[in-house]
Amino acid sequence: MGWSRERGAAIGCTLLFHELSSRIEAIICLAMKDQRTPLPQLPAQTELVDTHCHLDMAAYQPDLEEVVHSASYHGVKRLISIGIDLPSSKAAVALTDRFPNIYATVGFHPHDAQRATPDALKMLADLASHRSVVGYGEIGLDYVKNYAPHDVQRKVFSEQLHLAKELDLPVVIHDREAHDDVFRLIRSAGPYPRGGVMHCFSGDRQLAERMLDLGFYISIPGVVTFANASTLHEVVRAVDLRHLLLETDGPYLTPVPFRGKRNEPKLVLYTAQKVAELKQVSLGEVARQTTANAVRLFQLPGDAHAS
Ligand SMILES: [Zn+2]
Ligand SMILES: [Zn+2]
């Protein structure tokens, strides 16, 4: 018995040693990973909102919990998951029941304009009554991919602009190479008591000023970290911080230094850092003001730290 007890203890020790060393290895790996990619650090008492991401997409299926918790750990406390059609709008709303810090929007993206039947729009309107739906979109025009004919895109965009107003929700606008038509349709459907945002802004300073006149926010994506984004840099310098929002549009449009990899909410820190650099203010100031803007536009619960 003595022999087997000793042998058992020896095996136990070996197992313990293996377990300890693999844990130490994991900690070292984590530290090295962090050393390779140190995320910008927010000052205490500040946070960011990722105002536009697609958390229902397949890219996040394997590790969504980790993505959401890691964002929160790094100060990206609130996330708005954006609908692009009926299933994704439903999925975004379902996520808000799973995670208290996720909010949702509902809408038909211009790519899916042909599926925006009267019945489907009625279902979206019903879905919008959920307490965590904070906006209507993303809606708009996309003249790059042209998945739907332009006249269908324009018709469905106008219908949804009016529906958003009926539902008393701010609008989230997608605009690719369609600046004049987007502006014209938004203006003719206005005014917007709840306002709106030009998500992933890709226009120039003149378009930004026209949208500001309509009371819209300009949302800055990770593209701002690209060296060749000079028009967007000019927009960021010109537009007052009180009119800017930040977004990832994850899983797309990953900022430098992760360009080419999957985007996720915590990486909005790089976008915030670049905006701070362009405007020559602190990261804390960018966080305070853009979070206050997001809270105001989407009527998110909780304090805004700036006016
Ligand atoms: Zn978009
Ligand atoms: Zn999007």
- Ligand 1 geometric centre to CA of 250 (Å): 10
Q: Are residues 93 and 186 in the same domain?
A: yes
Q: Are residues 67 and 5 in the same domain?
A: no
Residue type at 92?
A
- Ligand 1 geometric centre to CA of 25 (Å): 41
Give burial (CB, 10 Å; 0-12/13-18/19+) of 5: exposed
Q: Are residues 182 and 212 in the same domain?
A: yes
- Ligand 1 geometric centre to CA of 173 (Å): 7
- Ligand 2 geometric centre to CA of 82 (Å): 6
Q: What is the CATH number of the domain that holds 159?
A: 3.20.20.140
In a domain, 243, yes or no: yes
pLDDT band at 3 (very low <50, low <70, confident <90, very high): very low
- Ligand 1 geometric centre to CA of 152 (Å): 17
pLDDT of residue 36: 53
Q: Are residues 62 and 194 in the same domain?
A: yes
In a domain, 103, yes or no: yes
- Ligand 2 geometric centre to CA of 52 (Å): 6
pLDDT of residue 38: 85
- Ligand 2 geometric centre to CA of 53 (Å): 6
pLDDT band at 193 (very low <50, low <70, confident <90, very high): very high
- Ligand 2 geometric centre to CA of 40 (Å): 24
Q: Are residues 74 and 210 in the same domain?
A: yes
Q: Are residues 181 and 68 in the same domain?
A: yes
- Can you spell out the DSSP letters for the chain? -HHHHHHHHHHHHHHHHHHHHHHHHHHHHHHHHHHHSPPPPPPTT--EEEEEE-TTSGGGTTTHHHHHHHHHHTTEEEEEEPPSSHHHHHHHHHHHHH-TTEEEEE---GGGGGG--HHHHHHHHHHTTSTTEEEEEEEEEETTT-SS-HHHHHHHHHHHHHHHHHTT--EEEEEES-HHHHHHHHHHH---TT-EEETT--S-HHHHHHHHHTTEEEEE-GGGGSTT-HHHHHHHHHS-GGGEEE---BTSSPPTTSTTS---GGGHHHHHHHHHHHHTS-HHHHHHHHHHHHHHHHT-SS--S--
In a domain, 77, yes or no: yes
The average pLDDT across 139-162 equals: 98
pTM of the model: 0.87
Q: Are residues 3 and 71 in the same domain?
A: no
In a domain, 89, yes or no: yes
Residues 6+ apart with CB under 8 A from 256: 222, 225, 226, 227, 270
The average pLDDT across 299-303 equals: 81
Provide the angle, in degrees to the nearest 10, between the axes of the packed helices 150-166 and 118-127: 40
In a domain, 304, yes or no: no
CA distance 206 to 9: 76
pLDDT of residue 17: 45
Select the more confidently predicted residue: 20 or 147.
147
In a domain, 305, yes or no: no
Give residue 12's domain range.
1-36
pLDDT of residue 37: 67
95-127 tens-digit pLDDT: 999 999 999 999 999 999 999 999 999 999 999
167-185 tens-digit pLDDT: 999 999 999 999 999 999 9
In a domain, 145, yes or no: yes
Q: Are residues 145 and 276 in the same domain?
A: yes
The average pLDDT across 227-240 equals: 98
- Ligand 1 geometric centre to CA of 2 (Å): 71
Q: Are residues 27 and 49 in the same domain?
A: no
In a domain, 245, yes or no: yes
- Ligand 2 geometric centre to CA of 137 (Å): 9
- Ligand 1 geometric centre to CA of 248 (Å): 11
Q: Which of 291, 219, 279 is nearest to 45 (CA)?
A: 291
pLDDT of residue 10: 45
Closest ligand to Cα 250: 2
pLDDT band at 6 (very low <50, low <70, confident <90, very high): very low
Select the more confidently predicted residue: 1 or 145.
145
Closest ligand to Cα 84: 2
- Ligand 2 geometric centre to CA of 249 (Å): 5
Q: Are residues 17 and 133 in the same domain?
A: no
Mean pLDDT of the chain: 90
pLDDT at 20 over 80: no
21-36 tens-digit pLDDT: 545 444 444 444 444 5
Q: Are residues 80 and 115 in the same domain?
A: yes
- Ligand 1 geometric centre to CA of 174 (Å): 4
pLDDT at 298 over 50: yes
- Ligand 1 geometric centre to CA of 138 (Å): 6
- Ligand 2 geometric centre to CA of 7 (Å): 60
Q: Are residues 23 and 63 in the same domain?
A: no
Domains held by the chain: number: 2
